[in-house]
Amino acid sequence: MDSSAALTAFAALSQPLRLRAFRLLIKAGPKGMSAGDIAQALEAKPNTSSQNLAHLVHAGLITSQREGRSIIYSAKMEGVNALLRFMLQDCCGGDDASCNAAIDALTPCCDPSRIDL
């Protein structure tokens, strides 16, 4: 991830409704949630919710997939991981080994193949 992509991600997360939606999708896991369920959980109008979800998709933090008449959104853990790596790339005096171990520890808990769907 480069600085421009990181700034786009942070800009997307800087709006309260988007941050709440992102956290909700992290909690939902790889199954994700429908646009309607997200709007209901956030107590937001569907069109407002959809516009904010589009910002998160553009930032590479979530994905969307059409299933019948619904759009299912889920957290894009690769995007989250890339953002964390970008933030920590120079930690510990630039010792990548120290930082990467911490970031790599996040991957198994979010690996969709480890979760019963």
Concatenated DSSP letters of 58-105: HTTSEEEEEETTEEEEEE-HHHHHHHHHHHHTTHHHH-HHHHHHHHHT
Q: Count how many Cα atoms sit within 13 Å of the Cα of residue 95 in the half-sphere of its side chain.
A: 6
Q: Is CATH 1.10.3720.10 the classification given to domain 3-76?
A: no
CATH 1.10.10.10 location in the chain: 3-76
pLDDT for the residue numbered 54:
97
Q: Digits of tens for pLDDT over the chain (117 positions)?
A: 899 999 999 999 999 999 999 999 999 999 999 999 999 999 999 999 999 999 999 999 999 999 999 999 999 988 888 898 888 877 777 676 777 776 676 655 555 554 433
CA distance 15 to 96: 31
